[in-house]
Amino acid sequence: MGLGEASLIGITILGSTGSIGVNTLDVISQHKDKYKVVALTANTGVERMIEQCTQWQPEYAVMADTDSAELLRAKLKAVAADVEVLSGDEGLRFVAETEQTDYVMAAIVGAAGLLPTLAAAKAGKRVLLANKEALVLSGQIFMDAIRDSGAELLPIDSEHNAIFQCMPVNFGDGLAPTGVQRILLTASGGPFRSKSLTELHQVTPDQACAHPNWVMGRKISVDSASMMNKGLELIEACWLFNTTPEHIQVVLHPQSIIHSLVEYSDGSVLAQLGNPDMRTPIAHGLAWPERIKSGVASLDLFDIARLDFEEPDLERFPCLRLACEAMQKGGTATAILNAANEVAVAEFLARRIRFTDIAKIVELALTNVEIEEATSLQTVLAADKRARDYSNTAIQELAA
């Protein structure tokens, strides 16, 4: 590393080829005097990884899939020969905890992001958390790792980042001691906000992935359509802000301009507003406690003209109810919820089950898979596997 690079903040992006990863690189491109890309990681997206490595020349590139890593290694020889290619969970953990990395953007979707994100927490990094499953699966374990290592945890989901910006600095002490009465967690309602339960039986994967406000991957788009995404965010908010589901109100806000709100005991309600663009929370997490430009256009209130709010319908969107129930049950219940949902969403995207079957599979798993105390990572991962095995069996029986 040259003398001029010594003072740059080293960034590892877990999931660099996804929408969060791409947006993170866009923000970094505007501040090359502050940040240096140490490592980029992906699952199987070799061609996009080649493009990113050619542009950014990171020290490491990691492919979770071993075969994809071999292909990447061969193709990079001509365009980025100095990039060291690693693979698998071991490679992901290495770049998350290496001394060259200061900040880790945790943007791998699903349970696959848990281990490297936890490694970053244990290594004392600034963890920019865009992977909600890390807390959904292993909430107390993850928060203990942050505390014990002295790591910094900054939420990147637009809603949690908004709450973070509206919270008092000592929110870790709990809501009541800091004068907070409740958290208002906003949700767009997704593409099916106004559809009837009958209509929801017939929706297709392409319809579910057509989010009205955000550009996201297919899995998270389906979660948004079912409102499971908001359920996972509710669980995450409980861990991030040391509270319980009873103190969080989900509010449908179709414009996605108010990203969330915090109500104080004196009646004050603080809200964070902005255009629906993930570069805003990404820039906030990278620069905190300072502010940097994100490339996001200024909010034009006159163009927006109105802001609407609705109460969620738990009959049409039972996934939100199930997430609340799982958090209240505690232990491995949230890991079971997440695993069953991941299996069901994959089957829906493959057109093997209906959209409304997703919630059915999740409820069956929560009812029939044993819930234990989440005392260790091994316990959590075992519950995850049991829930996946059960859900696959339940889907086969449903299709029979």
Q: What is the CATH number of the domain that holds 13?
A: 3.40.50.720
User: Under a CB-based contact definition with an 8 Å cutoff, are residues 157 and 134 in contact?
Assistant: no
Mean of pLDDT values over 58-87: 95
The pLDDT of residue 15 is above 70: yes
Sheet containing strand 35-42, strands side by side? 84-87, 60-63, 35-42, 9-14, 103-106, 126-129, 152-155
358 and 249 in one domain?
yes
Full residue range of the structural domain in which residue 360 is found = 173-272+313-399
Q: Count how many domains the chain has.
A: 2
User: Under a CB-based contact definition with an 8 Å cutoff, are residues 273 and 257 in contact?
Assistant: yes
The CATH number given to whatever domain includes residue 225 is: 1.10.1740.10
* 162 domain residue, yes or no: no
**Domain end marker among 98, 127, 155:** 155
Q: What does residue 313 show for φ and ψ, rounded to 5 degrees?
A: -95, 105
* 278 domain residue, yes or no: no
Mean pLDDT score across all residues of the chain: 94
Is omega for the bond preceding 289 within 30 degrees of 0, making it cis? yes
pLDDT of residue 4: 47
Q: How confident is the model at residue 313 (pLDDT cuts 50, 70, 90)?
A: very high
Element (H, E) at 223: helix 218-226
User: Under a CB-based contact definition with an 8 Å cutoff, are residues 42 and 71 in contact?
Assistant: no
The pLDDT of residue 1 is above 60: no
Measure the N-to-C terminal CA separation of the chain; round to a whole number of Å.
60
pLDDT of residue 172: 87
| pLDDT more than 90, % of the chain | 86
pLDDT of residue 110: 79
Mean of pLDDT values over 68-75: 96
The pLDDT of residue 84 is above 90: yes
* 40 domain residue, yes or no: yes
Q: What is the pTM of this model?
A: 0.92
* 265 domain residue, yes or no: yes
216 and 181 in one domain?
yes
Please compute, for residue 281, the number of CA atoms within 13 A of its CA located in the half-sphere on the CB side. 26
Q: How confident is the model at residue 132 (pLDDT cuts 50, 70, 90)?
A: confident
**Domain end marker among 108, 124, 155:** 155
103 and 23 in one domain?
yes
219 and 146 in one domain?
no
Mean of pLDDT values over 343-358: 96
16 and 109 in one domain?
yes
Q: For residue range 260-310, what is the model confidence (pLDDT) as tens digits?
A: 999 999 999 999 999 999 999 999 999 999 999 999 999 999 999 999 999
Q: What does residue 247 show for φ and ψ, rounded to 5 degrees?
A: -105, 15
The pLDDT of residue 6 is above 80: no
The pLDDT of residue 121 is above 80: yes
User: Under a CB-based contact definition with an 8 Å cutoff, are residues 387 and 322 in contact?
Assistant: no
Enter the DSSP assignment of 87.
E
What span, in angstroms and rounded, lies between the C-alpha atoms of 312 and 318?
10
Q: How confident is the model at residue 112 (pLDDT cuts 50, 70, 90)?
A: confident
229 and 144 in one domain?
no
